[in-house]
Chain A
Amino acid sequence: MLTLAILLPLAAAALLAFAPLSASLSRSLAIAAAALSLVALVVVWAGFTPAAGFQAVQEAPWIPALGVAWRVGVDGISLPLALMSGLLFVAAIAWPMEREVNARQYYAWFLFLEGASLGVFLTLDLLIFYVFFDLSLVGMYFLIGRWGHGEAQRAALKFFLYTLAGSLLILLAIIALVLMVDPLTFDMRELIAMQPVAGMDLRAGLILLGFVIGFAVKTPLFPVHTWLPPAHVDAPGAASAILAGVLLKMGTYGLVRIAMQMMRETFATWALAIGIVALISILWGSIVAFAQENLKRRIAYTSVNHMGYAVLGIAVAGSAVTGHEAARDLALTGAVVEMVAHGLITGALFLIAGAFWARRQEYDLDHYGGLAGNAPRMMAAMGLASFASLGLPGLAGFVAEVQIFIGAFAVWPWLAALALLGLIVTAALFLGMLQRIFFGQRPPALNDFADLTAVEMSVMAALLVLVVLIGVWPAWLLEMIGAGALLATGGG
């Protein structure tokens, strides 16, 4: 079933790449393929037992000489992420294109990217993980470069170069890690069980450094986040939503799955350092976002801030401070919920930003004002997403952040206290943004500004209903994650 969820979009992408279909037919086909892939994931979810290790496992040999095989399976971390990605892809594909050029190839690349992204979360083989990790770069490169605007080629190249450097570091670290095992295997389950670098000092530290830098580029953490703003600003809205909602999660997912689970001891040694980097990202992201006059750039920097919370949660969870098991469980659960919530919320925000571009070809906040009158539905959707993003109780962001902060306060109180400052700045920047767009004097040029269409509204509804649902009744998600089991066995 998981294999199907990955291969279905890839097959549909291949079909779209070669068959001369019309734009509307391509669109319907793409939506259908993405939806079917989501259905396959939901079927797996239906049969999922929380906190019972890897499930729905499938295996087939690929390069036996190197111990590489096609292995897929899910646990409490990967399943929520995969479900969120599947949903967000349906939303991004169903969202209307900003510029209607080469629709067939546009949808083909989106489906290709979906297959690669789901592959990253669902595979249980380190090498296949790397394969899909790299393929997601290729897909995003072409989407930004071809359908972006402004300096799209430059932004696409910067994105590709930066993240390829990161992913190659990950590859070296993967190889170094795997070489500790005899015979060679890339099976994640075995590596988690064996803890290949336990008891080593320098070498283990260097391997961890490779993973942390590589995943930090992707997450992105300060100071290797500089590729993110141009990539977001120049990408089409739907691609931005995927970039923020799905691709960034690969960084944090890798930190949990590989750095934390496979190198428990080493990660614990360096957890505080990672936590401090996360703190800097939280503060830096929120302060810099506050200073942005460009709508999309502002949302992009809040991603740096929010992913900082997720990494903080992971660092807390991986720290081996004894006597705080409950707090660490809480922090890990919070980090996973943050990943899911950020995917839904920021995905929605970027889609709306795309709607602004589609209507006015302008991201400058000063360009807008007083839109509450013409675009009430847009205001409602953006307002809800913004409130969720700044952590209003009753919405998904709050559930995540409160758990991360409780966990962090138990382990490193001073760090958590400093990180709280980020929340205040974030609240200010979102409220300011809403105020400048929707209230005040409306420039006459905006009098014919159109509200969200029915298609756009239904996509928004699908994402935001979940944001509210996780906010008011998070039990089902928390149960699915079952962080306690993940920490106790390491294997989850």
Chain B
Amino acid sequence: MPVADLGPEIALIAGAIAALLLAMVLPQPRLGWCLAAALTALAVAALWALAQAGAARLTFSGTFALDGVTLWARAIIVVTTALCLALAPCWFASDRRHGEFYTMTLFSALGAVAMAGAADLMQLVMAVLLSSVTGYVLAVWHRDWALSVEAGMKYFLIGALANALLVIGVILLMGMTGTSDFAALKGADVSSPLALLGLALIVCGLAFKLGAVPGHAWMPDVAEGAPVPAAAFLTVVPKIGAALALYRLVHLFPETDMLRPLIAALSVLTMSLGNLAALWQTDVRRLIGWSSVSQSGYALMAVAVADLSAEALPALIWFLAAYALANVTAFAVVAHLRGRTALEDYNGLARTRPDMAAGLIVAFLSLVGIPPLIGFVGKLGLFLVTIDGGYTWLALAAVLNTVVSLFYYARVIAPMYFTARPDARPATLGRSSGAIAVLCAIALIGLGLLSGPFLAQAFGGVVLP
């Protein structure tokens, strides 16, 4: 067994265990030290992943793929997780026990990486389950607060159903093709109705993790009710894993006529539903939640044209990176403002907290896709590959949705910038949350301008098998 192939994943496990042990011995005020263990593990994982950058092989008896997809999944997930975790010590400062939060988050991140790297149906199920089970706990962390409990319950109920569908789908597909191995499945005959049904059910199961129709309903509740660091994590990290896993799946069955139109349809439904539902939200966290749903729809555009356009994979990767960074920025601002979430709380923020207002504006403009922010390059790639892949109508639908989305982002931006200065300056959380928000906002601009080298690297990425 080439254990070193899974070095980054093992580092995550080691970090999770170390954080758990520290949580057992540390007194309550010092639980933030668990963050050090978690960040160390994430750093090791990142470096190890970079060291395997050029790899393109199947490992562990063909159950795990070391390729471009896995590399980028590791990179984006590790960075995002680190940013979310760094928000946690301030946020949970008054929580009696939150040392386990770091452990849970690392395990959840591991599940997301494993989803993207899975080269075997059983492995995919394991990864989805790991990511889900830990996710429920993260959502419901504020167990004394009704909204958090509601979010966790909704997440769990939808997740239980979706995971059951996923497992049934995997069983159907395995039964009809006789294998769970991606390498053997590649190009296999899946034209029988039962196999097609299995494939559709797998797509539904992954759509839950992605936050796409039909498994999207948990997203706004989790964004609103979960602790803000967990909300930032849960709206971003599982989505990255699921989008890349779906890409791999579509890549496996290029000949199946049904798969792409199904995903394109889900894409349009998801982006339209998310945007329309976000239009009149008066709760900023919920609004970000619905906008996250719509962003899943955009991500599915690149999945629908997988292999139809040569650049579909780099476009997807860079869009996911842009989305992750922008969403984390938005949540970091919310966290820094102590989770204030009513729309009127943001009136005149540009006068009282200009740095936070600027951060949120940049994050929202990046989600719209205004150049030269990174979100623009991400969306440009999506439009490019969908038109190239022959799905021009999908690109038109996305354009229409983008215009709609500007409306609700502007509903937050306008009161921040245009209304008069309020009486009180809003209280903030701590120095670190503010620093993360500003840092991410600068990265949204900087990485947008420096997209070239990253895109060039993503262009070289291969998909196995």
Contacts and interface: CB of A to CB of B under 8 A. Distances in A.
Interface in A6-63: 61-63
A434 interface: no
A291 B368 CA distance: 38
Say whether chain B's binding surface is mostly helix, strand, loop, or mixed. helix
A340 interface: no
Contact of A175 (B368, B384, B410): B384
A306 B186 CA distance: 62
A491 to B, nearest CB: 25
Contact of A160 (B384, B410, B417, B452): B410
Contact of B387 (A61, A161, A175): A175
Interface stretch (B203-211, B213-221, B327-335, B398-406): B398-406
Interface in A53-104: 61-66
Nearest to A206: B392
Interface string A165-180: 1001101100110010
B402 A168 contact: yes
B371 interface: yes
Interface stretch (B29-37, B75-83, B127-135, B375-383): B375-383
B456 interface: yes
B403 A161 contact: yes
Contact of B403 (A64, A130, A138, A164): A164
B387 A172 contact: yes
B455 A63 contact: yes
Given A62-B452, A131-B376, A153-B414, A172 B395 contact: yes
B383 A138 contact: no
Contacts of A145: 414, 417-418
B68 to A, nearest CB: 14
B7 interface: no
Interface in B330-381: 365, 368, 370-372, 376-377, 380
Interface string B288-314: 000000000000000000000000001
Given A168-B402, A179-B387, 7 more contacts: A62-B452, A66-B380, A153-B418, A160-B410, A161-B410, A171-B399, A172-B399
Contacts of B368: 164
Contacts of B365: 138
A436 interface: no
A66 B455 contact: yes
B396 interface: yes
Interface residues of B, number: 31
A469 interface: no
A155 to B, nearest CB: 11
Interface in B13-65: none
Contacts of A135: 370-372
A65 B403 contact: no
Contacts of B407: 157, 161
Contact of A168 (B314, B392, B403, B451): B403
A134 B371 contact: yes
A174 to B, nearest CB: 9
A175 B456 contact: no
Contact of B370 (A61, A134, A157): A134
A65 B456 contact: yes
Contacts of B383: 171-172, 175
Nearest to B411: A157
Given A164-B406, A172-B387, A146 B452 contact: no
B388 interface: yes
B459 interface: yes
A146 B380 contact: no
A152 interface: yes
Contact of A63 (B396, B399, B418, B452): B452
Interface string B404-432: 00110010001001100000000000000
Given A152-B418, A165-B403, A172-B396, A157 B456 contact: no
A363 interface: no
Contacts of B399: 165, 168-169, 171-172
Contacts of B372: 131, 135
B417 A146 contact: yes
Given A66-B455, A145-B417, A146-B417, A130 B406 contact: no
Contact of A179 (B384, B451, B456): B384
Contact of A64 (B371, B410, B452): B452
Contacts of A62: 452
Given A130-B371, A134-B370, A161-B403, A63 B377 contact: yes
Nearest to B371: A131
Contacts of A165: 399-400, 403
Contacts of B403: 161, 164-165, 168
Nearest to B399: A168
B242 to A, nearest CB: 26
Contacts of B396: 172
A61 B452 contact: yes
Interface in A126-173: 127, 130-131, 134-135, 138, 142, 145-146, 152-153, 156-157, 160-161, 164-165, 168-169, 171-172
17 contacts: A63-B451, A65-B314, A66-B380, A134-B370, A135-B372, A142-B417, A145-B417, A161-B410, A164-B402, A164-B403, A168-B399, A169-B399, A171-B380, A171-B383, A172-B392, A175-B384, A176-B392
Q: Find the residue from A142, A168, A176 having the highest chain B CB count within 10 A.
A: A168
Contacts of B452: 61-65
Nearest to A178: B384
A175 B400 CA distance: 16
Contacts of B414: 145, 153, 156-157
Contacts of A64: 452, 456
Closest 9 CB pairs of A and B: A131-B371, A63-B452, A168-B399, A165-B403, A65-B455, A145-B418, A65-B456, A153-B414, A65-B459
Contacts of A160: 406, 410
Nearest to B396: A172
B398 to A, nearest CB: 9
Interface in A368-407: none
Contacts of B400: 165
Nearest to A166: B403
Contacts of A176: 387, 392
B368 to A, nearest CB: 8
A84 B414 CA distance: 32
Contact of A146 (B370, B371, B418, B451): B418
Nearest to A105: B350
A157 B387 contact: no
Contacts of A138: 365, 370
Contacts of B392: 172, 176
Contacts of B314: 65
Contacts of A161: 403, 406-407, 410
A61 B372 CA distance: 15
Contacts of B388: 179
B370 to A, nearest CB: 6
Contacts of B371: 130-131, 134-135
Contacts of A153: 414, 418
A135 B369 CA distance: 11
Contacts of A131: 371-372, 376
B341 to A, nearest CB: 22
A162 to B, nearest CB: 9
Give the one of B377, B402, B414 with max A CB within 10 A. B414
B405 to A, nearest CB: 10
A456 B314 CA distance: 54
